[in-house]
Structure 1
Amino acid sequence: MPQVNGVVRTLSTVATELRSLGHVVEVVGPDRFRNIPCPTYPDIRLAIAPGRALSGLIARFRPDALHIATEGPLGWAARRWAIRHRARFTTSFHTRFPEYLQARFRIPPALGYAVLRRFHGRGSAMLVATPSLGEELRRRRFLNGRSWSRGVDLDKFRPEPRRDWEAEGHRRPVFLYVGRVAVEKNIEAFLSLDLPGSRIVVGDGPQRPSLTRRFPDAHFTGPLRDSELSAAFAGADAFVFPSLTDTFGLVVLEALACGVPVAAFDVTGPKDILGGATECVGQAGPDLRAAALAALGADRAACRRHAERFGWRACAERFRDALVPLFETTETPRRP
């Protein structure tokens, strides 16, 4: 899985955790087939006619359980294989594609959700990241949802060391955004805020050139990785997450793990992560500016403690326990 995003980080980390528990895991991504770049997202690849080759991979691996992670061409091919062989499978709902298609191409969300209901409806369970997302999807007539939260690498994302943004010429307080720079992330809502100090954007994406021109006072670092990313988080005074469409928001957890309070809208993802601890770890509400200013007074140590509740091992175990046997049988998927 060559892309770098929340879905890829989740799946690759869960696969690693499952292997450490003694399970045998085979990850089949579009990089194993002829593929093309996704329109408007060239770093995301789409498999071309993967059906026959995928059937061969499944036959050779002989899995006990099949999980279909995304709704791209490869996911549809895996779904067709399972239905043709009367095999059971699970899916997961990671991305609000209907809202993304509406933002980019003005396609009505109802059409997108009808397609997704068809995709996920044949599975034995559809794993969803948060309770509020599960409730929303139930209202949209997705009837097989099951909760599966996320985790954060607490060794990788830490309060120290901190990047000294002030020494680089950025005034305090430093408000930070990390993630894909694309229209559906609603970054303009952050950059348009009347805030003191500095606004910094870490990441890349199709909207970066236009936002750089429109907001010359903001600083765009481009993508950062590993220790550089953790230090960038830790050096900020507040993390601003303006998205209205994310289903979870791993970067929210990563910011908290670095001891940085979070400001976000009161929507699925941030409100589930922050829970009832908003006074000490950040603010989720209808007014993003007010939330950003209020976050400056949050307890940084409490942010770290809150993040410590979200471990990847528990996430992997919940994923494992949601799997179903490939065929109707009393056996369970392979366990250590």
Structure 2
Amino acid sequence: MNILIVTDAWEPQVNGVVRTLKQTRRELEKLGHAVELITPQNFTTFPCPTYPEIRLSWRPRKKIAARIEAFRPDAIHIATEGPLGLAARKYCIRHKLPFTTAYHSRFPEYVQLRFGIPVSWTYRWLANFHNAAEATMAPTRVVVDDLKARGFTRTVMWSRGVDLDIFKPVAREKLQTRRPIFVYVGRVAVEKNVEAFLELELPGSKWVCGDGPAAAALKAKYPGVNWLGVLSQAELAEVYSAADVFVFPSRTDTFGLVLLEAMACGCPVAAYPVTGPIDVIGNDGPGALQEDLQAACLAALKIDRTEVRRFAERFSWAAASRQFLSHLHPFTPAAQQELQLSMQAAK
């Protein structure tokens, strides 16, 4: 089956959306499907206001139409709500083609933090965007229920996975600073609430791996923190393994792939008890979830790393991608039959 995925989030961005789509494409191709991605790399782009690392496509409508018609997809998935997603959605509606969408992040909360626009306004716009789809995939049951409460009509769950061959416990030598070592990995931006971690009075040392619009200001404000920038997956596995606690200060993430990556390397998690950490970790086991983030960090030091790794082994990209596949809406009876046969073979 030919599966087309349209996304405004792509390289050089390093985030959960990009990683999810890469892993999903890989798993779908293993099952014999042809997967084409339409990304900003195929278009003239301009920097997103307040976030220049994100490139927005300029007037993509005609080129989107040409790419869709050249690939002749059997199913279309629109991963994001940016210029490419909007153009693809308009094409599908005009040509009466069913499509699916995904809700990856707490975009309304991000918009409110950056521009002061009320959350209710953005959710109303997003509901209108996604309700034209046959299904809107969200990463956890809590997010699915939240979207339904906000007027989304066809929400379904599409979970996430972790590459257990890359993210695994290795020698704990990467970070040569005073222990215990507390690490944050991810985008350094206001919506990630990184400063809540940096301002904690913790023993040992702190590290940040990642980059973003808030990085320069935070480096200047917290000179005692160690910074590594953006790393490869193999390098991240070394960082997670060397750390004593992975600190996840975000209150707005819908899932948090980095949670799974850290746990797969045996690193316990400290986080707030909010959507994302609660859905992935639960109330006990591989992490400490408390409103007092400092107390959570200290409690996480006591967690058995072997049990943390064992917990992460429950998640696989193969299972997550089969779930994604099951939600697609092929255009023709022949493609629908092919999808059903693929699902049976993948069990």
Asked if Structure 1 and Structure 2 have the same fold, meaning a TM-score greater than 0.5 normalized by the shorter chain, the answer is: yes
- 2:161 corresponds in structure 1 to 151
The superposition leaves residues 73-92 of structure 1 with CA deviations (integer Å, 9 ceiling, x where unpaired) of 00000000011011111000
1:230 maps to amino acid = A
Q: Is the 8 A contact 1:158 1:230 kept in 2?
A: yes
Q: Is the 8 A contact 2:53 2:212 kept in 1?
A: no
Residue 102 of structure 1 deviates from its aligned partner by 0.9
Tell me which of the two structures has the higher relative contact order, counting C-alpha pairs closer than 8 angstroms and 6 or more residues apart.
1
Alignment coverage as a number of residue pairs? 330
* Aligned pairs for 1:51-66 within 5 A: 51-66=61-76
* Aligned pairs for 1:167-178 within 5 A: 168=176, 170-178=177-185
Residue 42 of structure 1 deviates from its aligned partner by 2.2
- 1:15 corresponds in structure 2 to 25
Which range moved further: 145-154 or 221-230? Answer: 221-230
Identify which of 264, 267, 275 aligns with 2:271. 264
Q: Is the 8 A contact 1:265 1:287 kept in 2?
A: yes
Aligned counterparts of 1:92 and 1:110: Cα–Cα separation in 2? 19
Instruction: Tell me, yes or no, if structure 1 residue 189 matches structure 2 residue 196.
Output: yes
The superposition leaves residues 142-165 of structure 1 with CA deviations (integer Å, 9 ceiling, x where unpaired) of 121100100001111111133342
Aligned counterparts of 1:6 and 1:217: Cα–Cα separation in 2? 28
Q: Is the 8 A contact 1:247 1:269 kept in 2?
A: yes
The superposition leaves residues 151-208 of structure 1 with CA deviations (integer Å, 9 ceiling, x where unpaired) of 001111111133342xx3x211001000000000001111111211111111111101
Instruction: Tell me, yes or no, if structure 1 residue 83 matches structure 2 residue 87.
Output: no
* Aligned pairs for 1:96-175 within 5 A: 96-165=106-175, 168=176, 170-175=177-182
TM-score (norm 1): 0.95
| Percent of residue pairs identical | 51
Residue 57 of structure 1 deviates from its aligned partner by 1.0
Residue 330 of structure 1 deviates from its aligned partner by 7.3
Q: Is the 8 A contact 1:64 1:333 kept in 2?
A: no
Aligned counterparts of 1:119 and 1:319: Cα–Cα separation in 2? 19
Q: Determine helix, strand or coil for the equivalent of 1:246.
A: coil
Which range moved further: 81-90 or 224-233? Answer: 224-233
Instruction: Tell me, yes or no, if structure 1 residue 326 matches structure 2 residue 336.
Output: no
Instruction: Tell me, yes or no, if structure 1 residue 234 matches structure 2 residue 261.
Output: no
- 2:303 corresponds in structure 1 to 298
Q: Is the 8 A contact 1:171 1:197 kept in 2?
A: yes
Q: Is the 8 A contact 1:324 1:333 kept in 2?
A: no
Q: Determine helix, strand or coil for the equivalent of 2:18.
A: helix
Residue 271 of structure 1 deviates from its aligned partner by 0.7
Instruction: Tell me, yes or no, if structure 1 residue 310 matches structure 2 residue 320.
Output: no
Aligned counterparts of 1:20 and 1:153: Cα–Cα separation in 2? 15
Residue 326 of structure 1 deviates from its aligned partner by 2.7
Which range moved further: 24-33 or 40-49? Answer: 40-49
Residue 49 of structure 1 deviates from its aligned partner by 0.9
Aligned counterparts of 2:338 and 2:249: Cα–Cα separation in 1? 41
Aligned counterparts of 2:16 and 2:85: Cα–Cα separation in 1? 18
Aligned counterparts of 1:231 and 1:162: Cα–Cα separation in 2? 7
Q: Is the 8 A contact 1:325 1:333 kept in 2?
A: no
Q: Is the 8 A contact 2:23 2:317 kept in 1?
A: yes
* Aligned pairs for 1:245-264 within 5 A: 245-264=252-271
TM-score (norm 2): 0.92
Aligned counterparts of 1:330 and 1:71: Cα–Cα separation in 2? 29
2:38 maps to amino acid = V
Unpaired runs of 5+ in structure 2? 1-9, 343-347
1:218 maps to amino acid = V
1:24 maps to amino acid = A
Residue 299 of structure 1 deviates from its aligned partner by 1.0
Aligned counterparts of 1:226 and 1:124: Cα–Cα separation in 2? 34
Aligned counterparts of 2:185 and 2:318: Cα–Cα separation in 1? 24
Aligned counterparts of 1:210 and 1:23: Cα–Cα separation in 2? 45
Aligned counterparts of 1:308 and 1:98: Cα–Cα separation in 2? 32
Residue 331 of structure 1 deviates from its aligned partner by 4.6
Q: Determine helix, strand or coil for the equivalent of 1:118.
A: helix
Q: Determine helix, strand or coil for the equivalent of 1:212.
A: helix
Identify which of 54, 57, 60 aligns with 1:50. 60
Q: Is the 8 A contact 1:180 1:205 kept in 2?
A: yes
Unpaired runs of 5+ in structure 1? none
Instruction: Tell me, yes or no, if structure 1 residue 203 matches structure 2 residue 210.
Output: yes
1:224 maps to amino acid = L
The superposition leaves residues 11-58 of structure 1 with CA deviations (integer Å, 9 ceiling, x where unpaired) of 011001100110111111111111112222222211111111111111
RMSD, matched Cα: 1.4
Q: Determine helix, strand or coil for the equivalent of 2:156.
A: strand
1:40 maps to amino acid = T
Q: Is the 8 A contact 2:20 2:160 kept in 1?
A: yes
